[in-house]
Amino acid sequence: MSKLIKVLMNKDSSCLPIWFMRQAGRYLPEFRKIRSNNKNFIKLCLNAKLSSTITLQPIDKFDLDAAIIFSDILMVPYALNQEVNFEKDKGPILSNFKIDDFLSCDARSFKFKLQPVYDLISITKKKLKKDKSLICFIGAPWTLIIYMFGLKSKDNKLNLDLLERKKKEIKLTLDKLNDYLCLHIDSQMKSGADAVQIFDSWAGMLPEEKINDFCFEPNAKIVNFCKKNNYPVICFPKGINNNYKKFNEIVKPNGIGIDFNVDPEWIRFNLKDVCIQGGMNPRTLLLDDDSIYREAEKYIKTFKDYPYIFNLGHGLLPETNPDKVKKLINFIRENN
Ligand code: 1CP
């Protein structure tokens, strides 16, 4: 059994697996080289061979304990017939959401469009050593709704008026989206992934009175699906502060990723029966070595004798120097 699965499923605190969100891509020169010859991001994600190469780049370079597949949460709206474009320095741009187009989608064509992702997983699984894990992922329903309905302004504020105006459509979309996301998880796991991470990157935008309907409940439904199928599942509801406790009590995933705005001590004493992942601010990796080691030590010490996966509180930043990543990994392995 791989280290990651031991910690996640058996709550075995004797090992400390390491992987990083956004470890494949952006900051790696090896990735940039491939990317410069592949201008269309969606096409690159649909190239199973190249995506598999990118997935394995950080494993070959850093000997990490888990690989996360090179794909994107927005491959799901793409497979549901919404146009998705990635423009340089602008982030993703989606065509206007059309409820009729969405409702006319079916599971067969959804799976057909995402088949290259499933091929990428089976190719990668064969190449990965037995002691490593392969992580697949989805965007949580709320985070996908943000992109699909264009609910986020450029300064990352939630457009509450639009949310109110589109209430009925959003409710309908949430329910159907759940089925497609479960299907995507099922297909990824059956292709050879070992665990699934649910990215709720924009959970922290929700006002308190909406967090149950848009974050807790949709995540709980998907986690129940995973648990029924014995699929190890990690949730990352970023930015929800003290609601991490309630999230854990309601959603009950095998693992919870924490961000850098919550106090790890508080997390340790308030989140029960769950494996904790991450926390360290990715900006720390832009500082000098001693600051990096000090911060890493804080997390290692806090979660000593506790089921913990070393990771960050969000993805590696594009400006991160890969040498610093290597130094951080060496430090963790030497001090554990
Ligand atoms: O121009 C480029 O080279 C594309 C940059 C890029 C990359 C490398 C995007 C565009 N997506 C990805 C890959 C990706 N995205 C991975 C696999 C790589 C890995 O993790 O190692 C994963 C897991 C994601 C997940 C993802 N995509 C999230 C959730 C995680 C998070 O960072 O919060 C989100 C919100 C997205 C949307 C997205 N895709 C790309 C961008 C620039 C964004 C964010 C835009 C925004 O801030 O709204």
Q: Smallest Cα–Cα separation from 128: which of 42, 34, 24?
A: 24
C-alpha 22 – ligand 1 centre gap (Å): 7
pLDDT of residue 102: 95
- Residues 134-192: tens digit of each pLDDT: 999 999 999 999 999 999 988 889 999 999 999 999 999 999 999 999 999 999 999 99
C-alpha 72 – ligand 1 centre gap (Å): 6
- Residues 239-253: tens digit of each pLDDT: 999 999 999 999 999
**Which residue out of 21, 72, 184 has the highest number of ligand 1 atoms within 8 Å of its CB and is therefore the one to mutate?**
72
Is the entire prediction scored with pTM above 0.85? yes
Q: To the nearest whole number, what is the mean pLDDT of the chain?
A: 96
Tokens of 203: 């959970």
According to DSSP, the β-strands at 91-94 and 84-87 are antiparallel
Ligand 1 is surrounded, with C-beta below 6 A, by: 21-26, 35, 41, 68, 70-74, 86, 91-92, 137, 199, 201, 315
User: Does residue 335 have a pLDDT over 90?
Assistant: no
User: Does residue 263 have a pLDDT over 80?
Assistant: yes
CA distance 105 to 136: 23
- Residues 26-75: tens digit of each pLDDT: 999 999 999 999 999 999 999 999 999 999 999 999 999 999 999 999 99
User: Does residue 89 have a pLDDT over 80?
Assistant: no
Q: Whose CA is nearest to atom 46 of ligand 1?
A: 91
**Which residue out of 20, 22, 259 has the highest number of ligand 1 atoms within 8 Å of its CB and is therefore the one to mutate?**
22
pLDDT of residue 156: 85
User: Does residue 90 have a pLDDT over 90?
Assistant: no
Residue 50, CA distances (Å) to 32, 47, 315 in order: 12, 6, 21
Q: Residue 139, SS3?
A: strand
C-alpha 169 – ligand 1 centre gap (Å): 26
Tokens of 232: 């190890």
User: Does residue 120 have a pLDDT over 90?
Assistant: yes
C-alpha 54 – ligand 1 centre gap (Å): 14
Average pLDDT over residues 283-291: 98
pLDDT of residue 154: 80
User: Does residue 336 have a pLDDT over 90?
Assistant: no
